[in-house]
Amino acid sequence: KPKLFIFDLDGVITDTAEFHFLAWKQLAEELGITIDRRFNEELKGISRMESLEKILALDPALQGMPLEEKKRLAEKKNDHYKELIRTITPDHILPGVEPLIKRIKEEGILLALGSASKNAPAVLQRLGLYEDFDLIVDPAKVKKGKPDPEIFTKAADHFRVPYSACVGVEDSAAGIEAINRAGMFSVGVGSADVLSASAYIVPDTSRLDFDRIVEKFNRARE
172 is a contact residue toward Mg ion (CB under 5 A): yes
116 is a contact residue toward ligand G16 (CB under 6 A): yes
- 77 is annotated as contributing to ligand binding: yes
205 is a contact residue toward ligand G16 (CB under 6 A): no
- Per-residue DSSP letter, 130: G
Determine whether 62 is exposed, middle or buried from the number of CB atoms within 10 Å of its CB (0-12, 13-18, 19+). middle
Helix (H) or strand (E) holding 102: helix 97-106
Is the C-alpha dihedral spanning 52, 54, 59, 64 positive or negative?
Answer: positive
- 9 is annotated as contributing to ligand binding: yes
Helix (H) or strand (E) holding 26: helix 16-30
Smaller CB distance to ligand G16: residue 1 or 118? Answer: 118
**Nearest approach, Cβ of residue 159 and ligand G16 (Å):** 20
Binding ligand G16 by CB under 6 A: which of 4, 9, 101, 182? 9
- 146 is annotated as contributing to ligand binding: yes
CB atoms within 10 A of CB 22: 16
Binding ligand G16 by CB under 6 A: which of 15, 78, 197, 216? 78
Could you give the CA distance from residue 184 to residue 186 in angstroms, rounded to a whole number? 6
Smaller CB distance to ligand G16: residue 45 or 149? Answer: 45
Catalytic residue among 8, 15, 134, 193: 8
- 171 is annotated as contributing to ligand binding: yes
Could you give the CA distance from residue 176 to residue 147 in angstroms, rounded to a whole number? 8
The entry of Mg ion, ligand G16, none near residue 14 (CB within 5 to 8 angstroms by kind) is none
15 annotated active-site: no
State the maximum Cα–Cα separation within the chain, in Å, rounded to a whole number: 55
Question: How many Cα neighbours within 13 Å face the side chain of 49?
Answer: 10
36 annotated active-site: no
Binding site for ligand G16 (CB under 6 A): 8-11, 17, 20, 43-48, 51, 78, 115-119, 172
Query: Which residues are part of a known binding site for Mg(2+)?
Result: 8, 10, 170-171
Query: Which residues are part of a known binding site for substrate?
Result: 8-10, 24, 43-48, 51, 77, 115-119, 146
